[in-house]
Each structure stands twice: as structure tokens, then as C-alpha cells.
Amino acid sequence: MIQALRSPARPIFPALMAFAMWALAAFAGVYWAMRWQGQTSPPANVPTALTAPSNASALTLEKSMVAQALGAPAPTASGAAASPAQTSHQWVLFGVVAGTSGRGSALIGVDGQVPRAFKLGQTVLPGWVLHSVERRLARLAPSMQETPSVTLQLPAQPE
């Protein structure tokens, strides 16, 4: 008679446990090696905050320079003589949406603050409303019934 040779069945559990133990040992070794390499000397004393400039005008000058460096248009206002509104506030026109019907809105920044969108007739500052908008310009007036005294224009597009 012929006998079939069969190998005894080996349980797989001890092999899996050995693999898991070796993987855990390798992970721990890599973790501690990376942690050991990352620890050098303690960090140097770094100031956490910068002191503010002593005068506020230097701060507003820096804000406008940073805004221009990031692509904001330079503040411009048309007219030969500067009106009291132009000297007391810094108006910056960032964009205009004007329709053919005369309706629209303007994106205006005042005194270095974040620009906001204003609709026609909406108060920009106390005593100043958005009077009218046209292509690439916006006009401000003390009220909707008065004539505009401040005209803001977008800078000319480079060709």
C-alpha cells in the first residue's frame, strides 16, 4: 500500500505574532531615532510680538504701501483742488459694478480698513453716501440730493 505523506499542519498564529513583534520593534526604533535626531538645543529666545510704531501716520503709510505691493490700486481722486472730504478721509476705490440703467455698486475702502461693497444711496461714512457709479468711477456726496463732491477712479489699465 501506498501511504500519502502529509506534513503536519503548522498553526499560523505564532508566525503572525512574531511578525507583529518585529514590526513593533522596528517602529519603536525608527520613532526613537527620529525623535533623537530632532532634539538639538532648546530654541533661542524669539520675540513673540513686535512693538507698534510710535506714530499712527507711519502705520497708515505702511498699510497703504503693503496694500499697493499686494496689488491694490493707489488711492486716486480726480479734481484740481482737494476737498475737505478728501483730506480728512482716505478713500480707495477697489472696484465698480455699473449697469447701463445707472444702478450698481462700488467696492470702497475707507481710512485703510477692509473694503466693503456699497449700493447706490447707501451710507459709506456718516454724512457720505454713494451718489452714482459709472464705468471705472464712483461719486460720493453728502446726500443723494446734493451734487457729488468726491470722485474716485480706478487706475488706468495697463495695455
Residue range 76-99, pLDDT digits in tens: 544 433 344 444 678 888 888 887
Any domain includes 120? yes
Does residue 77 belong to any structural domain of this protein? yes
Say what the pLDDT of residue 80 is: 36
Question: Would you state the cell numbers that stand for residue 100, as one nine-digit string?
Answer: 447701463
Question: Tens of pLDDT along 48-77?
Answer: 555 555 555 444 456 666 776 776 666 654
Residue 146 in any domain: the answer is yes
Checking 119-127 for CB contacts under 8 A at 24+ apart, the result is 125/89
The reply to whether 78 falls in a domain is: yes
pTM of the full structure: 0.43
Contact indicator for 124, 110 with CB cutoff of 8 Å: yes
Residue 90 domain-assigned (yes or no): yes
Q: How far apart are CA 117 and CA 135, in angstroms?
A: 16
Q: Identify the H or E element spanning 64.
A: helix 56-69
Give dist(CA 55, CA 73) in Å, integer: 25
CA distances to 39, 44, 50, 53, 155 from 47, rounded to whole Å, are 22, 10, 7, 16, 40
Residue 104 lies in a domain: yes
Determine, yes or no, domain membership for 115: yes
Which residue range is the domain that position 92 belongs to?
71-153
The answer as to whether 48 is a domain residue is: no
How many domains does the chain contain in total? 1
Task: Answer for the pair 91, 108: CB distance below 8 angstroms, yes or no.
Answer: yes
